Amino acid sequence: MPPVPHLSDRANLPAQPEERPLAGVLWMVLTGLCFVGVQATVKHLGGRVPAAEAAFLRYLLGLVFLIPMIPAFRHARLSRRALALFGLRGVVQGAGVIFWFYAMTRITIAEVTAMNYLSPIYITLGAALFLGEPLAARRLAAIGVAFLGALVILRPGVRALDAGHLAMIATALLFAGSYLIAKRMTGEASPQVVVGMMSLCVTIVLAPFAAAVWVMPGWADLGWLMVVAGFATAGHYAMTLAFRAAPMAVTKPVTFLQLLWASLMGLWLFGEPIDNWVILGGVLIAGAVVYISLREARLGALRSRPR
């Protein structure tokens, strides 16, 4: 699922001796295309496979990508606290994935993409409420702009809201909660173990929900779900390469393009009309996310500057 890259992703990556802005932009463009590919493939599946089952099969088939992480798992020494956090994150992420798959069958790809931009906003609020991070006036103003963008997309009272819209609100909240739990796990395990355990735990959490609505999928549907897993893995890898190649000030604004790709893909493949209100709302939300991200990166650079 195409989560929106969070503000501190670049800070967690090793410093590079040489910056390559063009490469960073191209990798970020590829990231957006991969994540839109995830959405388009899930949309193509439609209602043939129930949301919970499709989510389960996506993660189950994606476990093959964990094979290179086996050595990291073998050397991991996980405390009870870490295991509990892994389990909690699996529950939260699993619920978010079910809502996301459901939303993809109900509303347009552009709406899903635009509303998914809210996740970093919820992360910023959650970090302030639960982790004690400061929430300055400028951040609050940006958050206000983001929620204005959400209202522009939803337009409550002007049009009827679909269950898919509510599902995407829940998705963004749950994905934000998953990220905050992961942030609390910093130092508990290596990044490979954190990613691998999330995939494993989400698969286990989704299993009973998938069993409750199980229909026998065809080989073609299994193949499409494997494509979803491949697109998602490639997207996260390309995003990592983008952050390594260039500063956030260069790569972050490129995330705007994902909404463009989503709108064009929806129009081209599924005949979804381009909604100018969705575009406007998405731009407001994405702009707020980019502002908060760049401001945090700038403040982080100032804090790390030798005194």
Q: What is the mean pLDDT of each run of 10 residues along the chain (307 residues)?
A: 48 52 85 88 84 88 81 78 88 92 90 88 83 78 90 83 91 89 73 80 93 91 88 79 73 78 88 90 88 73 59
**130 to 83, 92, 125, 268, 295: CA distances (angstroms):** 20, 16, 9, 43, 21
From CA 244, how far away is CA 103, in angstroms rounded?
32
Residue 200's CB is within 10 A of a number of other CB atoms, namely 17
Q: Which two three-digit tokens encode residue 35?
A: 């994540």
Query: Would you list the domain boundaries of the chain?
Result: 19-301
Would you state the pLDDT for residue 17?
A: 42
Would you state the pLDDT for residue 148?
A: 93
Query: Burial of 22 by CB count in 10 Å (0-12 exposed, 13-18 middle, 19+ buried)?
Result: exposed
Tell me the HSE value of 238 on the side-chain side, using a 13 A CA sphere.
22
Would you state the pLDDT for residue 61?
A: 84
Give the three-class secondary structure for 237. Answer: helix
Would you state the pLDDT for residue 301?
A: 62
Q: Which amino acid is residue 61, in one-letter code?
A: L
Taking the CA atoms of the chain, what radius of gyration do you get in angstroms? Answer: 19
Q: Which amino acid is residue 149, in one-letter code?
A: G
Q: Which two three-digit tokens encode residue 149?
A: 């963008």
From CA 303, how far away is CA 307, in angstroms rounded?
9
Q: Which two three-digit tokens encode residue 83?
A: 């295991």
Would you state the pLDDT for residue 186?
A: 64
